[in-house]
Every structure is written in C-alpha cells, then in structure tokens.
Amino acid sequence: MDLFQSKAEEGGINPVALIDHYVWIHYNQNKILRQVDFLEPLPAFQAIDLGALAAGALTAKTNITNFDMYADEFAQFRIWTLDNVQLILYLPAGVPAGQLKTFQVPLSKFNALRNPSLNLTEICVWEDNRPAVIAINGSGIALSAVRIMAMGHHYHTVPVSATDPVNAKIKAGIQPVTHVWCSRAVFAAGNRT
C-alpha cells in the first residue's frame, strides 16, 4: 500500500497512514515525528454552513471550527461544496492554499464533477490549527445556504523521542515514514527550498 497525501482513489479516501506507522507532521516551519496509535474513518458530513449569500457577494473569512483536533491528533479531509460558490481556502486560517504567483486557485461545486476522487481538494489539519474559507457567489442568484462538506480520516499520534532508535532508521531511509503537510506556511514567505 502506498501511503501519501492526495492519492487518487475513486469512491473514497485512503488513509495517509495506518496504526503503528510513522508520520512527519509538517506544520509551519516545524517537522514533528509521530507514530499513529489510532485511526478512525470519517464519513461525509457537513463541516460548516456559511449561511445565505447574496448574488455577487462574498463571505468574511470564516474558521472551520469543526475541523479542530485535540492535542496529538491530525485529520485528513477532502472537501467540497453543495452550493454554487467558489471557495478560497486558508490552511491554517491565515495562510492561503493553492496560491500561485499571481492567483489563488479556488475550489468549487464542479471539483466533484471534474475530479470525482476529490484528491485535489485534500488537506490535513494538525491539532486545533483550523483552516478558514471565504465563499464567493459569482452568480446572479442569491443563495440561501453555503454548505461545505468533508470526509476523511482522524488520527491520534504519540511522540517519538529523539533517542528512539527508529529516529536514526528514518533519517537513514531504512524505516518508512509518511510526510503529512498540515500547513502551507513553509512556502508562504517565498521560501521555495
């Protein structure tokens, strides 16, 4: 089994790691070595309803608090919207996702049609470092609701001490480890290395 983020699988979402597997959590400038000790699938659920949105309007940046995790936990989500809006995603709340040099790539209702596995919408969240969204109603019709859906996996992890022999094996490439990107801040300040 290949374990990595954004894997294209029709009909669902494979976990990025399994129980007893090691993960490097990349959050901001930190790289945190953890071992998964619990894994739970999350069926499709409504993550947030941003409420009514007038034609041609946009919402304020809104935190998705339902994506908060407890200490030592991360989650892997694929997201989509039920309503005809574009979503600008921030992960964590202040850092744009999908940011190119002159454009920020939005998510839309049509992602599910063009990309049925939704792997291009996959994000991971470390602890309570929640993402945020702005919804844009580019149509000429007011919407009574802006609903964002999600599905994925929830993981609990335990730390791996610096003196644990597995540390050396991972650094030597002997022990497999999965990289889990929980923020885009590594690249936010122009650091492209």
pLDDT(193) > 70: no
pLDDT, the chain, mean: 88
Q: Is residue 125 part of a domain?
A: yes
**Do residues 182 and 129 touch, judged by C-beta distance below 8 A?**
yes
Q: Is residue 89 part of a domain?
A: yes
Residue 192's pLDDT is 43
Q: Is residue 87 part of a domain?
A: yes
pLDDT digits (tens, 9 = 90+) for 39-88: 999 999 999 999 999 999 999 999 999 999 999 999 999 999 999 999 99
How many CA atoms, within 13 angstroms, populate the side-chain half-sphere of residue 86? 12
Q: Is residue 6 part of a domain?
A: no
% of the chain surpassing 90 pLDDT: 62
Q: Is residue 181 part of a domain?
A: yes
Domain total in the chain: 1
| Cβ burial, residue 43 (10 Å; 0-12/13-18/19+) | exposed
Q: Is residue 13 part of a domain?
A: no
Whole-number Å distance between alpha carbons of 80 and 102: 24
Predicted confidence band of residue 11 (pLDDT cuts 50, 70, 90)? low
Average pLDDT over residues 12-39: 92
Q: Is residue 5 part of a domain?
A: no
Q: Is residue 10 part of a domain?
A: no
pLDDT digits (tens, 9 = 90+) for 92-121: 877 888 888 888 889 888 888 888 888 888
Higher pLDDT, 4 or 117: 117
Structural domain boundaries, residue 167 = 22-188
